[in-house]
Amino acid sequence: MIRSRAVLFLFILYLILRPFKVQAAQEYTMPPHLIQSVSEQDIYEGMLALDMLVSPVLEEADLPQVRENIKNCVVRIDMGNAYGSGIIWKLTPDKVVIATNRHVLDYWRDLDGYVYFPQGYYVDACILGVSGRQDVGFLAIDNSQFTYQELESLRNVSTDVLAYEKLAQGAEMLCAGSGPQEGEMLFYEGTVEDTGRYIADLDAYMLYGHGYARTGMSGGGIFDGYGNLIGMITGGTLRNEIAGVPLNDIVEAYEEIAEYG
């Protein structure tokens, strides 16, 4: 991380100095000072621009390493007497966007709801929007509740639609969500059975697989063996069946809310 920040610092410094050099050559003014201050905000926004805050994706499948890579992508959504899970969908210069199930947000109240991050951060949030078609909704968190160093510790999920479309029956997957105790994260391994199975109880075509998810993991992430997000945990059965909102539907829901919300 220190080396990455050093490279980023030099990159930002180059962008700062470059316009002055051109101006000096054209107008024959005095050269600028060589020392330019770079703030933590500059570094954070530079890391965003360079996609340095996206959860890593592996070249070879390795579920234990995926678990390590995505552990900071999953949050707990606490609503007083109920809780669910969420995933860090997008980091922007001014907000953190959390994706979760619409049915989780049915219990959300701004007055007593909060989001808990694995690093120990408790923050307020508000509903950014919910989908009218998929069981998906989004919370928005104002970045002013974090320091920039805290923001740099966050990771949003990798959302590669092509990786989802290449999923084959029997592919490894990892379900990640919140446990009963605050700060407890649960990870369960499983396998993909179907990327578009109609589930009558949910009245939707879902990512379907064999694995395990317990109460409170709704809204958590389903990842492939490389660390790509492939779905959102929505339901499970006692026969170790998992149903999740497919990645394509989450992307579609966010694009609709971002455009019209």
Identify whether residues 86 and 36 lie together within a single domain: no
The mean pLDDT value for 143-147 works out to: 97
Identify whether residues 150 and 175 lie together within a single domain: no
Does a structural domain hold residue 225?
yes
Structural domain of residue 185, as residue ranges?
A: 161-247
Identify whether residues 144 and 198 lie together within a single domain: no
Q: What is the pLDDT of residue 29?
A: 56
Does a structural domain hold residue 55?
no
Identify whether residues 196 and 239 lie together within a single domain: yes
Q: What is the CATH number of the domain that holds 152?
A: 2.40.10.10
* Digit-coded pLDDT (tens) for 99-113: 999 999 999 998 899
* Digit-coded pLDDT (tens) for 43-102: 999 999 999 999 999 999 999 999 999 999 999 999 988 999 999 999 999 999 999 999
* Digit-coded pLDDT (tens) for 154-208: 999 999 999 999 999 999 999 999 999 988 999 999 999 999 999 998 899 999 9
The whole-model pTM stands at: 0.86
Does a structural domain hold residue 64?
no
Identify whether residues 152 and 165 lie together within a single domain: no
Does a structural domain hold residue 16?
yes
pLDDT of 11 higher than 50: no
Q: What is the pLDDT of residue 31?
A: 57
In whole angstroms, give the CA distance from residue 167 to residue 103.
27
Does a structural domain hold residue 59?
no
Count the domains in the chain.
3
Burial of 246 (0-12, 13-18, 19+ CB in 10 A): buried
pLDDT of 25 higher than 50: no
Identify whether residues 191 and 243 lie together within a single domain: yes
Q: What percent of the chain has pLDDT over 90?
A: 75
Does a structural domain hold residue 206?
yes
